[in-house]
Chains A and B, each alone.
Chain A
Amino acid sequence: MRSRLASYAIRRFFLYLLIFFISLTVFFFFLNLVPGDPVTRYVQELEARYGLTTPISEEIIREYKEAFGLDKDLFGRYTSYLKRLIFEFDFGPSFVAFPTPVSELIIDALPWSIGLLGVSIIISWVLGILFGTILGWRRESKVASFSLVLGLILSQIPPYLLALVLVMVFSFALGIFPMGGAYSPLIEQGFNLRYIIDLIYHAFLPAMSLILVYTFGTMISQRALVINILGEDYIKLAEAKGLENNRIIKRYILRNTLLPQTTGLALSLGFIVNGFFLIEWIFNYPGIGRLFMTAIRQMDYNVLMGITVITMFGVLAANFIIELLYPLIDPRIRR
């Protein structure tokens, strides 16, 4: 049994490794096939702003190109990028924040995103399953019908649109939440209660933009699953046996919905991350999303590559872990 599980894990690992490698390659070529020359363009922007003169800029361009490996052909760039990534775990320097390494920028931004995204996903998933189960169980009540309609509407709203609505209502009209940022500048940063509350206060609206949408999305799918299960013979048997509702819900319903919900979470991670980038941009939140959006605007290739690699890794790793958990959740897979 153990060897079968190990072989399952190894097969999945290599599959994910292959997906990672293919995605990385596609994105690298996609990015590098964009016509033009990012270094020259960047130096031209500097020229426009600082009025640098041509002789010096050509020299800078040459130096930068060497530093970024852009003096090589496309395939040469690809192999040197892979070499640097695999053997040195180095994403290279940022174009715009040269010579700051991309990894440093990502490390600065990552904790903000993990905090916000991680908490939002967990909350929305747990709440979605709870609400969905209640709605499924009490499917004929008026509250359930109303909640279903509300859920259907909210789950279809893109998180960034909801973010704008939340800002307009809670920041602009009511003025009870900040319009953006991650903390109040006057509060001393560190492990103190005031700062922690301030962080939560600033993260509240960005988190709600994600939580509201994904909670209702999960809730609707959970409701459908629960209703399906309610028609099963074993539920009828449990009811006939006079088991308590709580026990039926926990033992017979929730358990049976966990597997498809876990799969759903894994599949939707990519979409959540995409939506999350825009949320950070809207709220000027100093995480990976804002860094990515800024890098797009400035065509900072190395930062784009770095964030994409990290994001792909994160999403694939989460999927991989979830797949590894399947056998624990569903004994059929173990067999």
Chain B
Amino acid sequence: MRFLRGVLVFSLVLLFLAVSFSVMAQEYPVPREQAVVIETDTNYTVFDKANPFVPRGNQWGSGWHQLANEWDWYINYATGETIYWRITGWEYSEDHKSLTWNIREGVKWNDGTPYTAEDVVFTINLLVENKDLIGAPVVENVVSAEVVDTYTALIKFKQPEYRFHHELRMWGGIMVVAKHVWEGKDIKDFDNWPPVETGPYKFNRYYKELNMFVWERDEDYWAKEVFNKFPGPKYAIFRMAPPPDIDLADFIRGGVDAPLPHIFTWDMIKAAQRQSENVVLAPYMDAVSQGICSFNCAKYPTDSKDFRWAIQYVTDRDKLARVYPMAERSYPTMWPWPDWKALDKWEFPEIEEKYGPELTYNPQKAEEVLDELGFKKGEDGKRRTPEGEPLSLVLLTRPAPDLGYFHATHLSDELAKIGVEGVVKAVDPGMAGELVNIGSYDLFFDVLDVAVAFPNDIYFFFESFHSKHARPLGEYQTSGDRGRSRLKSEKIDAVAEELAALDPEDPEYMSVAKTGLDTWFEELPAVPFIEKMFVQTFSDMYWTGWPTEDNMYHVPYQWWPSFIFVLFNLEPSE
């Protein structure tokens, strides 16, 4: 008993020490009320490097892309607004063989040096001359870039160019670097650390073991003077998100302001709302389109467009929208891109009229089509292929709570009703990607990662379905989401090629785009189901001014470089 008493006393002393120490210990290296804490899913492995030209030259999700680095212009997907940021605009020559790039006066690097045409020209020529750098393929059509004057650059092309301006905005383009910093350096070895950039935050410090980067506001940020824009938080902390339950608890007690997107299900968000008054909801359509099912168009029987249409008839979009797990609600959609204003222009009424009524739940029609195609029901009520083999489809998805899992199980149930076996294969995200890459599936439930590319130019959408990306079954796809369906359609190819040679401003452009969409729906390499809504949560315990449902002034949020426009709106909570 004496021993047990001793243990009890020891425990009480320990508890007392813990309570006292918790007052002393600080979770963040800067005052919490001055810092905005942002989450990412990245396990940081690259430190001390901000070189965009070499593999592993920088760390995604560390805040470098989101806070320090800037692009010349942006598109606000929520509103469709074009934001000319470090530039005042651009003009193509009449023959589209040159582009004049007008740089804004007053833009400065964070070391005080002005941002000029010299920087743009230096970066483009660097890529033109060094074919092995990341980003070099983007300038394949560029002959050279030259400085016209301090704030004007001229980019000359080999062939007429219509969409080069997109290369200087957002992901995948040319990240302009400071000439005065990079010139004369060995580009492949240069670390650019601490990074000299034009963004509102400068590097402060990182903690390797804590998976944390700390950024400090640049008090001389150029946009303060030029646009009267200045971020509210003095510090911005990027950290790797802990497991969802822990993250939710931390979010409720104010440990994080902008949790990792998609980390909380709707039920978890409701639980957070019950326990905290500081939960801000910002509904958001996923940047990479909505719930969609891609068919494997290189594999029997999904290589038949009629078969693909039959499958789409057994999808009850209304039901899927009702049981949607990531937000309070969702809604059916027929368009293969998110419901952003910036993309509204591609939703042609004629196409909606033609295919809208067809993209509905109609199991009877599905049965008719399958009968016509020779997939007849046997005595056991199960359908067989015309060759007499059992008709079985692999429905590949990631496990719950991934949206695709709910779609796949729904479709499996519906397929069973019409005598088709739909085997749901729910595998780890990494494995799902592998199986898609080698074409080992019939239907894959995911998102379509092309929408971000084409708010002003639907060419990128058709290009992603071009047959040049389609590899034979079993052969590894190296084109990312492009060609996932392995579709081979001469008509789609022709549309993509025609659009490639057209200025998006050309009157003919919209007509080609419309024809292309008509063909796309006819071919149906993928079926859009419902809008992939999710709710981005923010906490207003320390900061107010987050986007909300009533004022969704900017999307996407913290994982995009355009997040600075949200930070400009933040103010300390009272």
Contact = CB atoms under 8 A, between A and B. Distances in A.
Q: Are A and B bound to each other?
A: yes
Interface of A: 34-37, 40-41, 43-44, 46-61, 94, 96-100, 108, 112, 130, 134, 143, 164, 167-168, 170-172, 175-187, 197-198, 201, 204, 281-284, 286, 294, 297-299
27 contacts: A36-B434, A36-B476, A37-B434, A40-B437, A41-B430, A41-B433, A43-B478, A49-B60, A50-B60, A52-B135, A53-B137, A53-B138, A53-B172, A54-B478, A56-B134, A175-B253, A176-B18, A177-B18, A179-B242, A181-B210, A185-B26, A185-B27, A187-B25, A282-B242, A282-B246, A284-B210, A284-B246
A97 to B, nearest CB: 4
Contacts of B249: 167-168, 171-172, 179
Given A54-B479, A171-B249, 11 more contacts: A36-B431, A36-B438, A56-B134, A94-B45, A178-B22, A181-B209, A182-B209, A183-B210, A185-B212, A201-B25, A299-B430
A159 to B, nearest CB: 14
A44 B480 contact: yes
Contact of A57 (B25, B212, B478): B478
A43 B18 CA distance: 45
B27 A184 contact: yes
Interface in B282-317: none
Contact of A182 (B45, B132, B210, B438): B210
At the interface, is chain A mostly helix, strand, loop or mixed?
helix
Given A97-B46, A164-B246, A52 B134 contact: yes
Contact of B246 (A35, A180, A294): A180
Nearest to B453: A51
Contact of A294 (B28, B43, B56, B207): B43
Given A48-B480, A164-B245, A281-B243, A298 B43 contact: yes
Nearest to B172: A51
B481 interface: yes
Contact of A48 (B46, B135, B208, B449): B449
Contacts of A172: 249-250, 252-253
B4 A143 contact: yes
Interface string B33-45: 0000000000101
Nearest to B58: A50
Contact of A204 (B18, B243, B476, B481): B18
A286 B210 contact: yes
Nearest to B275: A172
B46 A44 contact: no
Interface residues of B, number: 61
Nearest to A299: B430
Nearest to A138: B1
A176 B478 contact: no
Interface string B122-158: 0000000000101111100000000000000000000
Given A175-B22, A186-B29, A294-B43, A58 B478 contact: yes
Max count, chain B CB within 10 A of own CB: residue among A37, A51, A60, A183? A51
Nearest to A285: B209
Nearest to A46: B55
Contact of A197 (B21, B134, B243, B252): B21
A50 B481 CA distance: 14
Contacts of A55: 137
Given A51-B171, A100-B45, A40 B478 contact: yes
B8 to A, nearest CB: 12
B45 A96 contact: yes
B173 interface: yes
B437 A36 contact: yes
B456 interface: no
Given A35-B435, A185-B210, A176 B22 contact: yes
Interface string B1-26: 10110000000001100110110011
A277 to B, nearest CB: 13
Nearest to A37: B476
Contacts of A186: 26, 29
A96 B56 CA distance: 9
B211 interface: yes
Contact of B255 (A170, A179, A184, A198): A179
Q: Which 4 A-B pairs give the minimum distances between C-beta atoms?
A: A51-B172, A36-B434, A97-B45, A185-B29
Contacts of B476: 36-37, 40
